[in-house]
Amino acid sequence: MILRHDPGKIGLALDDQGWADVQTLLTKLQKQFSGLDLNLLQEIVSSNDKQRFAFNEDHTKIRASQGHSVTIDLNYTPKRPPELLYHGTVARFIEAIKEKGLLKMSRHHVHLSEELDTALTVGARRGKPVILTVRAEEMYSDGIPFFQSDNQVWLTDHVPVNYLEFK
C-alpha cells in the first residue's frame, strides 16, 4: 500500500523512480509496528511470494518492482517479449475487453505473464479465471514497447484487441 499506492499515508515520499529511503520508512512504520526493524524488512523482501519489493545495491533504498498506482518512472528498458504472454481475468470483463482491448485500469501498465499458471492465479483473485493469450512478439515488432519488471512481470501500456486470442 505504502510503496505502490499511498506513501503519504505515513508521510513518506518516493523519488521519481519509486524508491523510498529505508531508514525513513522504518522510522515512520515503527510508530505503528514497533517490532519492525531492518532484519524483518529484509526477511519480508526476500520471502515475499512474488518478490514484489527490491532494495538498491547498498540496501539504503527500497521500492516495489511493479503494480504502482502513484506516478513514478521505474526506468525499465524496453525488452523483446516471448511470442506469447498470458493475462488472467474473469468472464464479466470479457465483453469490455473485446471492445477496448486490455487496459491498465488504475495501474501503470497492463500486467502479463510468461507462465499460464501465474495468469490463472491472477485471474482467480476475482473468480473463475479466464485466460487471454497475447501475441506479444507481434505487438513488439509492430512498435509497441514491452518491459519486464525486476520480478519478471511483463508490462505494456495497452493491448489492442487485434493482438488478443479469446479461447
Assess 12 for contact with ligand HQG (CB under 6 A).
no
Strands (E), 36-163: 53-55, 61-64, 84-90, 110-112, 129-135, 147-148, 154-156
Count of other CB atoms within 10 angstroms of residue 103? 14
We find the least distance from the C-beta atom of residue 147 to ligand HQG, in angstroms, to be 14
Assess 1 for contact with ligand HQG (CB under 6 A).
no
Which residues, 6 or more positions from 60, have their beta carbon under 8 angstroms from its beta carbon? 21, 22, 23
Q: Applying CB under 6 A, which of residues 14, 72, 102, 139 lies at the interface with ligand HQG? A: 102
We find the least distance from the C-beta atom of residue 89 to ligand HQG, in angstroms, to be 3
Q: How many alpha carbons lie under 13 Å from residue 9 in its C-beta half-sphere?
A: 10
We find the least distance from the C-beta atom of residue 73 to ligand HQG, in angstroms, to be 19
We find the least distance from the C-beta atom of residue 11 to ligand HQG, in angstroms, to be 23
What single-letter DSSP state applies at residue 8?
G
Residue placing its CB nearer to ligand HQG in the complex, 80 or 100: 100
- Pick out residues in 113-132 that bind ligand HQG (CB under 6 A): 122, 126
We find the least distance from the C-beta atom of residue 39 to ligand HQG, in angstroms, to be 23
Assess 89 for contact with ligand HQG (CB under 6 A).
yes
30, 93, 140, 141 from 123: Cα distances, Å: 35, 11, 24, 27
Count of other CB atoms within 10 angstroms of residue 74? 18
Assess 149 for contact with ligand HQG (CB under 6 A).
no
Q: Give the H or E element holding residue 20.
A: strand 20-21
Residue ranges that bind ligand HQG, judged by CB under 6 A: 50, 52, 67, 89, 93, 96-97, 100, 102-103, 105-107, 111, 122, 126, 153
